[in-house]
Amino acid sequence: MWPYSDSMRGSELGVDDIETAVDTGAVPRGDRIDELLDAAYQRALEHAEGAVADYIPILADADPEGFGICVADVDGGIHEVGDTRYAFSIQSISKAFVYALLCDAVGHEAVFEMVGVNNTGLAFNSVVAIELNDGHPMNPMVNAGALATTALMPGGTAEEKWDAVRTGLSRFAGRELHVDEEVYRSEAATNHRNRAIAQLLESYGRIQADPMDVVDVYTRQCALLVDAHDLAIMAATLADGGVNPVTGDQVVSADVCRDTLAVLAASGLYERSGEWLFEIGLPGKSGVAGGLVTVAPGKVGIGTYAPRLDSAGNSVRGQVATAYLSRALGLNIFASESHFSGRTPE
């Protein structure tokens, strides 16, 4: 909850009527981005640590050498290197975009109260975190929060909710997305923990629908096929106030983008989120199939694919490449230079 009051929000703080100022700067010209993208790719290629996920059986078949990076700027420019058009399942990256869709549909307050925004500090599929917080999912980037988010999506039936999810994520990508049925079947046969989490949330009143229907929609959501090019466009949509830079479609509002990026900054890389923010300084989200999406507000979206993961489930090469681009392109949202520009203050 907000630390100063159980209910204090923008209206109580007296800021709702203040026009938001945005000053995001600019990225280098396109050929410079291409040059730095190649450098990031070569640097990340030196890293062969990590392992391909195998707790979902089908994911163990991924080529550990697969690797691609795509940068999409908010003007629609695309810069890419490597396996950027290789399709893989979106997995947990979907959480960020479904959360944005839900916020756009039902509003900031409702989602805040039901799902929350605070990091659990525990594994993404932790049951303990739910019990420690009296049934509250805490944030939408862990599985409990993602299930609660999916359950709240508009629609009176599971099929209607699924249609809202798939259609919304397709609008973010700028093309129609489809489920990898083999991945879906593999996950559906092994998602015992998610079923248990959904039933636990139902017992606390956090899920009102049939928990098994919710798990099924969530499983299909995670099995949607994307590539690094798609992820970059989806990220650039969040970077540009909710407008897809390729299609021009206003997918969600600018306020929703702000809220989503705040949640990603706090919890997008699970229990490594603090380290990620410290080193890279950008909102991001990983997926166990090897995808990684990063957003530089007002500037670019970055999508990477590299299936070797660290112990927290985050792409190793994706992190290395993104860290390089964050510094080389001047993307870190916490970085600044003195406005004195070298002159001695009087």
pLDDT at 302: 98
Buried b (16+ CB within 10 A) or exposed e, 229-243: bbbbbbbbbbbbbbb
Catalytic one of 41, 99, 184, 270: 270
What are the mean pLDDT values of the chain's consecutive 10-residue runs (346 residues total)?
Answer: 38 54 73 95 96 91 97 96 98 95 85 61 48 51 84 93 97 98 95 88 82 95 98 98 97 95 87 88 95 97 97 92 94 83 61
**Is 92 part of the annotated catalytic residue set?**
yes
pLDDT at 230: 98
**Is 285 part of the annotated catalytic residue set?**
no
pLDDT at 16: 59
**Is 288 part of the annotated catalytic residue set?**
yes
Tokens 């991945």 -> residue: 183
User: Whole-model pTM above 0.85?
Assistant: yes
pLDDT at 156: 92
pLDDT at 5: 34
**Is 218 part of the annotated catalytic residue set?**
yes
Catalytic one of 184, 218, 305, 324: 218
pLDDT at 3: 32
SS (H, E, C) the chain: CCCCCCCCCHHHHCCCCCCCCCCCCCCCCHHHHHHHHHHHHHHHHCCCCCEECCCCHHHHHCCCCCCEEEEEECCCCEEEEECCCCCEECHHHHHHHHHHHHHHHHCHHHHHHHHCCCCCCCCCCCCHHHHHCCCCCCCCCCHHHHHHHHHHCCCCCHHHHHHHHHHHHHHHHCCCCCECHHHHHHHHCCCHHHHHHHHHHHHCCCCCCCHHHHHHHHHHHHCEEECHHHHHHHHHHHHCCCECCCCCCECCCHHHHHHHHHHHHHHCCHHHHHHHHHHCCCCEEECCCCEEEEEECCCEEEEEECCEECCCCCEHHHHHHHHHHHHHCCCCCCCCCCCCCCCCCC
pLDDT at 118: 56
**Is 95 part of the annotated catalytic residue set?**
yes
pLDDT at 128: 42
Catalytic one of 117, 288, 293, 320: 288
Asked if 34 contacts 328 with a C-beta cutoff of 8 angstroms, the reply is no
pLDDT at 268: 85
pLDDT at 74: 95
Catalytic one of 95, 161, 285, 299: 95
> What structural domains and CATH numbers belong to the chain?
25-328 (3.40.710.10)
pLDDT at 345: 57
Buried b (16+ CB within 10 A) or exposed e, 75-105: eebbbbbbbbebbbbbbbbbbbbbbbbbbbb
For residue 132, the tally of other CB atoms under 10 A from its CB is: 14
